[in-house]
């Protein structure tokens, strides 16, 4: 039977603006995700969760990512987005040296790719948020990303959210960040199982 970890809140979260690549949005109480109408991300969102203290051998059976959406997409088809594993875990959330579209820490180091570096493997989640969605919303299951972080004993689970560039419409949505004073921040609910125990017959010596 799966063991379930209580909801894990984000330890840091912010967003980046391609039109203002050196602007730091620091500890904003909302996260804004948008497309510019030309198949390009206009703003990307990033968040980190502390990796649960689990044995690297456990199997992650589910990892539900949920938000408190404050303003949902307005297009009839909603908004499609990709959730990717950010490959840098020491990006900064701060009003002074916080990360931007260009830099993971202002004045310290640049992203390899503007808007955040991410793994190009099969760990992504693609999800569609329906038109006018608001309130608590389960975006989807990011178990593959969480499994990677647990198996490799990474200190944090860092997620980069990007509007899917298959869309040619201008679109945006907002949800509460970890600094919102009223609504819950992004959360992960992780379920896992331990590997089966090996039964050793009586009288057998190892």
Inside any domain, residue 130: yes
Inside any domain, residue 183: yes
**Total count of domains within the chain:** 1
pLDDT in tens, the chain (206 residues): 678 886 777 889 999 999 999 999 987 899 998 887 665 668 999 999 999 888 999 999 999 999 999 999 888 888 888 999 999 999 999 888 899 999 999 888 999 999 999 998 767 889 999 999 999 999 999 999 999 999 999 999 999 999 886 665 688 899 999 888 899 889 999 999 987 765 555 655 55
SS3 state at 159 = strand
Q: Please report the pLDDT score of residue 204 as a whole number.
A: 55
Letter string b/e over residues 172-204, b meaning 16 or more CB atoms within 10 A of that residue's CB: bbbbbbbbbeebebbbbebbbeeeeeeeeeeee
Inside any domain, residue 199: no
Inside any domain, residue 204: no
């Amino acid at each position: 039977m799966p063991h379930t970890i209580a909801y894990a809140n984000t330890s840091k979260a912010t967003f980046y603006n391609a039109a203002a690549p050196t602007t730091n949005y620091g500890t904003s109480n909302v996260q804004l995700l948008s497309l510019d109408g030309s198949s390009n991300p206009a703003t990307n969102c990033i968040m980190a969760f502390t990796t649960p203290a689990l044995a690297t051998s456990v199997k992650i059976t589910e990892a539900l990512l949920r938000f408190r959406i404050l303003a949902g997409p307005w297009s009839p088809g909603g908004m499609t987005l990709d959730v990717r594993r950010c490959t840098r875990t020491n990006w900064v959330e701060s009003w002074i040296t916080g990360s931007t579209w260009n830099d993971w820490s202002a004045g310290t180091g640049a992203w390899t790719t503007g808007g955040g570096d991410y793994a190009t493997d099969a760990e992504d989640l693609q999800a569609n948020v329906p038109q006018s969605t608001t309130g608590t919303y389960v975006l989807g299951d990011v178990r593959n990303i969480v499994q990677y972080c647990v198996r490799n004993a990474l200190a944090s689970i860092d997620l980069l959210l990007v509007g899917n560039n298959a869309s040619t419409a201008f679109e945006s949505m907002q949800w509460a960040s970890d600094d919102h004073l009223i609504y819950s921040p992004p959360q992960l609910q992780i379920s896992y199982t331990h590997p089966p125990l090996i039964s050793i017959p009586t009288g057998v010596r190892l």
